[in-house]
Structure 1
């Protein structure tokens, strides 16, 4: 039983001269004699070789069956043919009890599936009450699943079970990562005088294909390479941007990613799809390990954590942030936090005019209240444009912070690593983890908050580049790395899944506001609004 919760542009490699290194590294000097042999997507630094494989093995997804030959869609999981059944309970359900749901997956022919590995999620909700909580899904590895829900409110509760990805589509996603870890690629402009040339860049490149510029960061050990453009030195690199996406998937495999049929499809109930929950006399049972929180009255309520305040007034938020420095590091899902805060607090003076709208860096200050809020995107791989002069690894930025009781750091690094092997993401998280530990050691009062991944709307393209299954794997790695590390996990995964709003890579403003409430409630536990 397993618990689960374009084309490449033409590039003339023949015109490139011999291998050369660069001094234009990200925040540090690159190796004078780069060890290109270490250019590997599966490379783990010596610091990570002991625990890394063990951790990654511990979250391995169940084996999925190979696709049939010849391929037949009829033999794969069908959302329309699959269903769930409420397990009856003598005497009905009361607050504090648990609800169990059995799920049976079937193929397009209506035959029960005999193997596991499908990706399912479940939710219990009541739209009128603004209530929702995720279920804990268990894969029995034989085509059946169980979802268990804590019953946390009085009244009606509707059950929702969603087939996110079939085991067959996950077989394809696994293959893509193993065979095409570089299918998302990047480019940089190299410029000297009036000459500008583009070059392909990535976490790892083939040194036999063309000479390389090695931009590996000495402090973090994070690898980054570009093919050296003809006639220009490596230290003439001026910018980074998304290069493109190279896709190798058959028409038959593409049929495994049909929204509403075998991807992001709600399963039907055999009989009832809802229950009525009665009040519980006396003390409510303590909720077993499961969800991190739930919605009630359209507000997020953490389970087993500090009380969440609803900071709805700009004056209350300003009072919370008075005298504080808020550092936001990460991708666009963290940039949303900066945008929300600066929009909510009219007295913040922003200095963003000369920064790129996606990458920043951004700065907002309130001199009278001594408030500073900053945002900076994380280092490569990142899929939007950034001047090389402004590229920073999160770990290096953390090492530059003084920290202290008036410093709050929020980090969100996940989405841009989805197409790479988990080793690449684990390596990045460990460099951040060690920098967080150094920060907390020298400034124990610093508040560090790590934002988890979240689910999104899926198309065929999104499935191949940002699938929820890819995000789930990274979410598991992130939780394992930062477990018991003295940081707060902001559970964006559950906050997005339990909410009635549709999944989105960039959650709706209502959900972002609730996430900001989590940040501020932990920043100012005694101030509410």
Structure 2
């Protein structure tokens, strides 16, 4: 975001990339330096953005991703970035686990992350070396507040800071979904969850297009029904799909569903909307909101779960312009502002994918997917999560 597009133009009207924030001249410094930090402390850093001409930026709008890592423990967490609107940014990290940590700042177009100049190592300690901040979390039920960060990785395992998440193996998921109907509606980031359930033989796929649906999966011995259908247009893809533009969208489907205490509806409208004007997404989500309200008037016990966006790869220009994480952040914010006061669960996977050690992809590594399913199952069957 710039104050005047004209300032980015040279005399021949080409874009002067020297005005872009440059990692070589942007500084990152720790504000609250200590010899030793403790679990639960906040580590604060300050970013001063400068362009390719070494000039201090006098406006905000840069999109940064801040990650704190301890590679020896395969541990990481995200930082909260505050844009002061004048080229100054403040980053806050909740120190969630003991160890030797190091912060890094990432931005699109930067080949390498920006690292602070530090003498020595940032040590996070506690009386008990196994102490973390995941103490006395509530179970994953309606009304659990959004946390920043949502969690952290430790020993390549995701630990939620919002609610108590269990580890669901195949028998656990089978038990959780027994006598339930679970309807997945939206994009491929939740279709991949259905595909995991099929791979683990929890349900068997029925006929239908495997990419866009509609199709139903079932397990007659457990009484489990799982369905999937794509959210219709808009669609961003390099392949052609046989979309019927006359098909009912998610809102129409939700309004016509028969709900109940054993019915779960999981929605994801994100990645295909990033190239559209914001008003397109806003209008669609208000229609979905209205449909959920109508459903809950008839079937108040129906559980509705809405998934946030996750990060993606940026391999080429089209993905940077039309599908960037910067656009996904705005969609997440808009979705929360429209939906969070409803009697629903917002399943937030953003921080999990920002801080992952795997390559960013719209379809994350299977290990990440499995931890997303752990969160999902912990919301569907919180009573199956151990109290310890």
1:434 is the counterpart of 2:284: no
Higher mean alpha-carbon deviation, 68-77 vs 508-517, is at 68-77
SS of equivalent to 1:375: strand
1:460 and 1:129 map into 2 onto residues whose CA distance is 35
Other-structure match for 2:187: 331
| Residue 368, structure 1, aligned to residue 218, structure 2 | no
Q: 2:140 maps to which residue?
A: none
Change (3 A) 1:72 1:297: same
More strand per residue: 1 or 2?
1
1:523 equivalent among 369, 380, 384: 380
**What residue number does 1:131 align with?**
75
CA distance in 1 between partners of 2:189 and 2:134 (Å): 36
TM-score (norm 2): 0.87
Q: Answer yes or no: is 1:321 the counterpart of 2:171.
A: no
Partner of 2:343: 486
Q: Secondary structure at the match of 2:196?
A: helix
Structure 1 position 152 matched with structure 2 position 96: yes
Matching residue of 2:142: none
1:266 and 2:266 aligned: no
Mapped partners of 1:111, 1:331: distance in 2: 42
Query: Does residue 1:477 correspond to 2:334, yes or no?
Result: yes
Q: CA deviation at 1:293?
A: 2.1
Q: Counterpart of 1:4?
A: none
Going from structure 1 to structure 2, the CA distance change for 1:273 and 1:360 (only over 3 Å counts) comes to: farther
Gaps of 5+ in 1: 1-61, 165-258
Residue 254 of structure 2: aligned partner = 398
Distance 1:127 1:528, change over 3 A: farther
Q: Which has the larger radius of gyration?
A: 1
Indicate the larger mover: 511-520 or 273-282.
Answer: 273-282
Show the 5 A alignment for 1:14-29: none
Shift of 1:429: 0.4
Residue correspondence of structure 1 range 62-141 to structure 2 within 5 A:
64-66=3-5, 67-70=7-10, 71-90=15-34, 92-141=36-85
Q: Which has the higher contact order (CA 8 A, sep 6+)?
A: 1
Structure 1 residues 293 and 283: CA distance shift in structure 2, 3 A: closer
1:296 maps onto 2:154 in alignment: yes
Q: How far does the alpha carbon of each residue in 1:296-324 deviate from its partner, in whole angstroms, 9 at most, with x for none?
A: 3323222242x101112x22211111001
**Given the superposition, is the C-alpha separation of residues 397 and 283 from structure 1 closer, same or farther in structure 2, using an over 3 Å criterion?**
closer
Deviation at 1:387, TM superposition (A): 4.1
Q: Report the alpha carbon displacement of residue 163 of structure 1 after superposing the two structures with TM.
A: 1.7
Distance 1:113 1:336 in 2: 42
With over 3 angstroms needed to count, the CA separation of the structure-2 counterparts of 1:526 and 1:130, relative to structure 1, is: farther
Segments of 4+ moved more than 6 angstroms: 281-288
Work out which of the residue numbers 348, 362, 374 in structure 2 matches 1:505. 362
- 2: CA distance, partners of 1:329 / 1:289: 25
Q: Give, in angstroms, the shift of residue 99 of structure 1.
A: 0.2
* Residue 145 of structure 1, CA deviation: 0.9
Alignment of 1:379-458 (within 5 A): 379-383=232-236, 384-388=240-244, 391-458=247-314
Q: CA deviation at 1:454?
A: 1.6
Distance 1:272 1:431, change over 3 A: farther
Deviation by residue 1:226-261 (Cα, 9 ceiling, x = unmatched): xxxxxxxxxxxxxxxxxxxxxxxxxxxxxxxxx335
Unaligned 5+ residue runs, structure 2?
138-145
Distance 1:380 1:273 in 2: 52
1:348 alignment counterpart? 203
Q: 2:126 aligns with which of 279, 302, 324?
A: 279
Shift of 1:484: 2.1
CA distance in 2, matches of 1:268, 1:477: 31
Q: What's the TM-score, normalizing by structure 1? A: 0.65
**Count of matched residue positions in the alignment of Structure 1 and Structure 2:** 366
- Give 1:347 shift: 5.0
The Cα RMSD (Å) is: 2.5
Once the 2 structures are TM-superposed, how far is the Cα of residue 291 of structure 1 from its aligned partner?
1.5
The answer (yes or no) to whether the contact 1:64–1:116 under 8 Å persists in 2 is no
**Partners of 1:477 and 1:273 in 2: how far apart?**
41
Alpha-carbon distance in structure 2 between the residues aligned to 1:420 and 1:283? 41
| Contact 1:331 1:415 survives alignment (8 Å) | yes
* 1:272–1:371 Cα change, 3 Å: farther
Q: Is the 8 A contact 1:127 1:500 kept in 2?
A: no
